[in-house]
Amino acid sequence: MQLKEKIEELKNYLSEYEKLVQAMSLVYWDMRTNMPTKAGESRSKVLEYLSGESFKMVTSSKVEDFINDLSKYKNEMNHTEARMLQELERNYNETKKIPQDRYVAFVGVCSNSELAWEKAKDANDFEIFKPHLEKVVEFQKEFINYWGFKNDKYDTLLDKYELGLTTEKLDKIFAELRDGIIEVLNNVKASNKKINRNFLYGNFDIKKQKDLSLYILNKMGFDLEAGRLDESVHPFTTNFGNKDVRLTTNYHEDEFTSALFSTIHEGGHGIYEQNISDELEGTGLQTGASMAIHESQSRFYENILGRSKEFCSYLLPIAKKYFEDFKNVTIDEFYDAMNYVETSLIRTEADELTYGLHIIIRYEIEKELINGRIKVDDLKELWNKKYNEYLGVEPKSDSEGILQDMHWSDGSFGYFPSYALGNLYGAQMFHKLLEEKPDIMAEVKNGNFTEIFKWLKEKVHVHGALYTPEELIKNITGEELNPKYFIDYLKNKYYTIYNVK
């Protein structure tokens, strides 16, 4: 049968491509975790070379032939085959429109820019990073011109991370989200509940933090024989197939939660990747459904699970074994401290309630920047202004302001919204999970995460990118993405903690 043969041929081709990408991802992982400082320049060249090769494979005439040949069989295709073709085409079109030399140059600019961002953050000086960022932004604008756009240039970037997403849709979703958050925030601020979280700050031996992080990861279901946990300035997850999934975190001796919750967050990404079906190898679909769906898993583990009362009840006795300072802390105190609400400067350390506002700020800035209505030169001022407006705080230094995230350094414009969408997807899934299994959280108290793990695996993980995010959320919950569930979740959780009637 001709279709089956063509599909097999395509799978062989994509398997080769996957190996190249795995090598490239490893080279990148190493750059962020292990590479000696003087190797930056030569490493950039290796990444340029590999990305040039990957560019060639994605845009080769072979791929064009696959697309043309397979298109004839569209009516005979099963779901997997149809999705293979769809993603192949999408990838081909997205890449083919960019001249290879520009693409390779962009990769080089990014890897230098990332290193410059690290330096700038260390030195607390945006000026070090600025010229690099300007280049990255210019490339983004140039690429949008290649890709084309309809109403808003930023739509082109959004669509890369979340198929079909537009500023028009997202403006509505974020308006609803923002209003919801601000309503809850105002009520929380008006509450006279006083939460003490001093015990989360002190001296936490890093070796012990590492041991605890690994212990919890393992408990959650992250397979340490098919993955690792390392350290990097900015925590991230990458993988080379589903049997080698690498998380990083960043330990701070003076506080308890940062590294642990980074680990749990990245662990959510990692569990997703480890549990994508082996059968999707060579299909181009052995990856997450979208960045937002990926974030839905990481933020599910980090917040919905990790900052739940039940998880805190499980965690506290263990934490007491590692750190004596927690000796007299009660479960209620621990849980409250973990969910302390405070308008603050750093996104990754923001509480679950105000987190969305950090994303909305970045979204608004990126839209302006990409549409050329502001310049890189204006970024810092605008950033500080918006933090003041939305959160009532203002950065005293670049590191705690404009330099805090690495995302712009590698040109990931359009990515930030994924985090907030991840919260929405996650809460909508959680609502469904509780409908199906109302008692599921009770087991968490005993450190038993198996049922949650199995549910997420079955509903989300195994499928990889077999479904678009829209299809997936509909398959799982029966309706499309709806911010209501997350806002309800916030109200329910924070009104209880802060005694809001």
User: Which CB, 43 or 160, lies closer to a copy of itself?
Assistant: 43
Binding flag, residue 329, a copy of itself (CB under 8 A): no
User: Which CB, 19 or 193, lies closer to a copy of itself?
Assistant: 19
Count of positions on this chain that bind a copy of itself (CB under 8 A): 33
Residues between 242 and 301 that touch a copy of itself (CB under 8 A): 243-244
The pair of structure tokens assigned to 23 is: 């090598």
Question: Site mask, a copy of itself, residues 178-217, x = CB under 8 A?
Answer: ----------------------------------------
Coil, helix or strand at residue 149: coil
User: Which CB, 53 or 368, lies closer to a copy of itself?
Assistant: 53
Residue of 244, 122, 219 whose CA lies nearest to 447: 219
Question: Residue 269, annotated ligand binder?
Answer: yes
Q: At closest approach, how far in Å is the CB of 352 from a copy of itself?
A: 31
CB 25 within 8 A of CB 240: yes
CB 285 within 8 A of CB 471: no
User: Which CB, 172 or 243, lies closer to a copy of itself?
Assistant: 243
Q: At closest approach, how far in Å is the CB of 467 from a copy of itself?
A: 24
Burial class (CB in 10 A: 0-12, 13-18, 19+), 108: middle
CA angle 285, 159, 56 (to 5 degrees): 55
What is the secondary structure of 342-360 as a DSSP string?
A: ---S-GGGS-TTTHHHHHH
Residue 292 CA, chain-centre distance (Å), reads 7
435 noted as active-site residue? no
Question: Residue 463, annotated ligand binder?
Answer: no
Q: At closest approach, how far in Å is the CB of 291 from a copy of itself?
A: 24
Q: At closest approach, how far in Å is the CB of 27 from a copy of itself?
A: 6
Q: At closest approach, how far in Å is the CB of 383 from a copy of itself?
A: 33
Residue of 48, 81, 114, 266 marked catalytic: 266
Q: At closest approach, how far in Å is the CB of 57 from a copy of itself?
A: 11
User: Which CB, 51 or 290, lies closer to a copy of itself?
Assistant: 51
- Rounded-to-integer distance, Cα 64 and Cα 58, Å: 9
Burial class (CB in 10 A: 0-12, 13-18, 19+), 274: buried
Residues between 213 and 252 that touch a copy of itself (CB under 8 A): 223-228, 240-241, 243-244
User: Which CB, 45 or 74, lies closer to a copy of itself?
Assistant: 45
The pair of structure tokens assigned to 430 is: 């959680």
Q: At closest approach, how far in Å is the CB of 26 from a copy of itself?
A: 6
**Helices (DSSP H) in 125-284: which residue ranges?**
126-147, 153-161, 167-190, 206-220, 257-274
Burial class (CB in 10 A: 0-12, 13-18, 19+), 203: exposed
Q: Which of 7, 10, 14, 50 binds a copy of itself (CB under 8 A)?
A: 50
- Rounded-to-integer distance, Cα 313 and Cα 107, Å: 46
Coil, helix or strand at residue 233: coil
User: Which CB, 113 or 286, lies closer to a copy of itself?
Assistant: 286
Residues between 7 and 46 that touch a copy of itself (CB under 8 A): 16, 19-20, 22-24, 26-27, 30, 34-39, 41-43, 45-46
Sign of the Cα torsion 486, 488, 493, 498 reads positive
Residue with structure tokens 């996650």?
Answer: 426
Question: Residue 132, annotated ligand binder?
Answer: no
The secondary element (H helix, E strand) that includes residue 227 is strand 227-231
Catalytic residue numbers read: 266
Annotated binding-site positions for Zn(2+): 265, 269, 295
Q: Which residues bind a copy of itself (CB under 8 A)?
A: 16, 19-20, 22-24, 26-27, 30, 34-39, 41-43, 45-46, 49-50, 53, 223-228, 240-241, 243-244
Annotated binding-site positions: 265, 269, 295
